Amino acid sequence: MHRGTRVAGLVLGLHLLAGAPVVAQTIGPFTWQTQPYCKRLTVTITQVGGVFQLTGTDDLCGTGLATVSGTATLGGPGVIMGLTVSRPDGRVASLSAAVPLTLSGTWVDAGGFAGQFVFNGATSAAGPRPDPGSFRKDLILGAVVASNGALVRGVGATSATRLAAGQYRVGFNRSVVACVWTATSGDDVSGNWPNLLANVALSGDGTGTSLFIDIRHTGTLASTDSYFHTIVVCP
């Protein structure tokens, strides 16, 4: 459908919502991309009585199709859409979008993600939006490392190495450059280890995905092997 026809269709929808005579109308389909992420939503707008219903699909960034449903209301200089995305695996997500007469607007979802709702957007460089489950795992990383450099357990931790006495490198499954890091000496069970101080910095290995941990005695400042715990919080 030509862009001008689409614009006219949305304007007609606005008139219907504003109280024009109730006549069955179907407008669309319309496609928007939830930038900066890659998924594209295609919806058809249908008037049923006094309700403006939305039905369509989410392309899941080209990996399949999810069912989209919702309603639209007149809001400000355009339309406010409330959408529910039902994935094939049973997960359900919701988002709302503000669409002005220019057709490109903004969106926000229940997980706190937001961006531009771009009409006919197709930015191939955009990545997938993390789902709420993977987002939490991606947000907080951590590791427990033994005094010999062995990775005892972790969240998002992929490796641990003893470099020298009291000095360690811990690798993670994502960049930690823009994250906040902390580390503390402590054993595997209680986390208590007296008179030791753990210092943490970005590793100098150039990967951006690992941290350097230096553990020293608080009295002598000598580097000392120790179990330690490290936590990483990322934006």
Residues 26 and 125 in one domain: yes
Q: Which residues contact 219 (CB under 8 A, 6 or more apart)?
A: 195
Task: Provide the 3-class DSSP secondary structure of residue 53.
Answer: strand
Q: How far apart are CA 79 and CA 98, in angstroms?
A: 6
Residues 90 and 158 in one domain: no
Instruction: Provide the residue count of the chain.
Output: 235
Last residue of one domain, picked from the residues 129, 151, 169: 129
CB 86 within 8 A of CB 66: yes
Q: In what order do the strands lie in the sheet with 196-202?
A: 157-164, 167-172, 210-217, 196-202
Verdict on whether the full-model pTM lies above 0.85 = no
H-helix or E-strand spanning residue 75: strand 66-75
Q: What is the pLDDT of residue 78?
A: 76
Q: For residue 232, give both structure tokens.
A: 């990483």
Query: What is the Cα gyration radius of the chain?
Result: 26
Which residue range is the domain that position 39 belongs to? Answer: 3-129
Q: Which residues of the chain have pLDDT under 70?
A: 1-24, 50, 76, 124-126, 130-138, 188-194
Q: What is the pLDDT of residue 72?
A: 86
Residues 72 and 160 in one domain: no
Residues 8 and 123 in one domain: yes
- Strand partners of residue 46: 26, 53
Q: How far apart are CA 195 and CA 192, in angstroms?
A: 10
Residues 112 and 222 in one domain: no
Residues 115 and 140 in one domain: no
Q: What is the pLDDT of residue 3?
A: 52
Q: What is the pLDDT of residues 143-182, one digit of tens each?
A: 999 999 999 999 889 999 999 999 999 999 888 888 899 9
Q: What is the pLDDT of residue 174?
A: 85
| Domains of the chain: total | 2
Instruction: Tell how far CA 55 is from the center of its chain.
Output: 24
Q: For residue 83, give both structure tokens.
A: 């959408």
